[in-house]
Amino acid sequence: MVSDVRAEDFEEAPLRRRLEDLEWLAETARAHESVVRAVSAVTGVVPLRLATVCRGENGVRRLLDEGRNRFTTNLDRLEGRVEWGVKLYAEPDPEPDRASAAEPAPGPPPRGGDGTASPGRDYLRRRMRSRQTREQNWARADALARQLHTELSRCADGQRLHRPQSGQLARASGVNVLNAAFLVRREESDAFVGQVERLTPRDASVRVELTGPWAPYSFADLSEQQDAPPRQVRQEAHEGRAGA
């Protein structure tokens, strides 16, 4: 499916500026998604990237002709399948800054006595416990991310790992540890959702978010995409994250 757009809005330079406008980008993405969702409800879809622009009908024909084999292969492979998104967020509480603000700074040592009661030592113990709790929460999130990816991959026809989201793209609290997409047969979606629910622990330090079903965006045109194992949680926590 195609639609006409104004050249002055979608030439290379103005389009680049618009893609940096988060409000415009969100509105355009919602419109794009609504069309793809409506079409995918009745037939197989290979979604193209947002803001794919062709110059006139000849440009559309050239796009289809040059990608005929790729499009046909993907349509055959994606027919009857949907995409489910699974995100895992770590809630490592207490955070160091928050814990520091909540805890009083060590005061002067008490006068008299045998010196066994030390506000300074108590403060350091609290900081140590806070750090240990945080490390344990990261470890649990790391283990759960790997378990989710491994177990859910067995229930799917394909999987893709995206960069964890951060900044304005991460609309939920916590640190996005796992951002995965799974290709699932439409008739097996209920079983997949049930498996996600079974694997989700009752643990305040982690949160699992399931989205979908979507048209299989992550699985269209796979020629340059590679599967990769989940990354270490601690590595992702220390490196800068970019939204997928």
Q: Which residues contact 19 (CB under 8 A, 6 or more apart)?
A: 25, 51
Q: Are 96 and 134 in contact (CB under 8 A)?
A: yes
Q: Which amino acid belongs to residue 124?
A: L
The b-or-e profile of 51-81 (16+ CB within 10 A means b, else e) is eeeeeeeeeeeeeeeeeeeebeebeebbeeb
**Which range among 44-53, 128-137, 142-151 shows the weakest confidence by mean pLDDT?**
128-137
Q: Domains of the chain: which residue ranges?
A: 7-78, 81-103+132-238
The rounded distance, in Å, linking the Cα atoms of 162 and 179 is 5
Binned at pLDDT 50, 70 and 90, residue 107 comes out as: low
Which run of H or of E encompasses 66? helix 56-66
Please give the pLDDT value at position 21: 85
The rounded distance, in Å, linking the Cα atoms of 193 and 210 is 8
Between the alpha carbon of residue 190 and those of residues 39, 106, 118, 196, the distances in Å are: 21, 55, 58, 10
Q: Is 0.85 surpassed by the pTM of this model?
A: no
Please give the pLDDT value at position 92: 65
Q: What is the DSSP letter of 161?
A: E
Residue 83 has pLDDT above 80, yes or no: yes
Please give the pLDDT value at position 114: 52
Q: Which residue has the tokens 């809005």?
A: 9
96 cis-preceded (ω within 30 degrees of 0): no
**Count of beta carbons in the 10 Å neighbourhood of residue 224:** 5
Please give the pLDDT value at position 93: 65
Please give the CATH number for the structural domain made up of 81-103+132-238.
Answer: 3.30.70
The rounded distance, in Å, linking the Cα atoms of 70 and 225 is 14
Quick: pLDDT tens for 214-229: 989 888 864 533 334 4
Please give the pLDDT value at position 160: 95
- φ and ψ at residue 38, rounded to 5 degrees: -65, -40
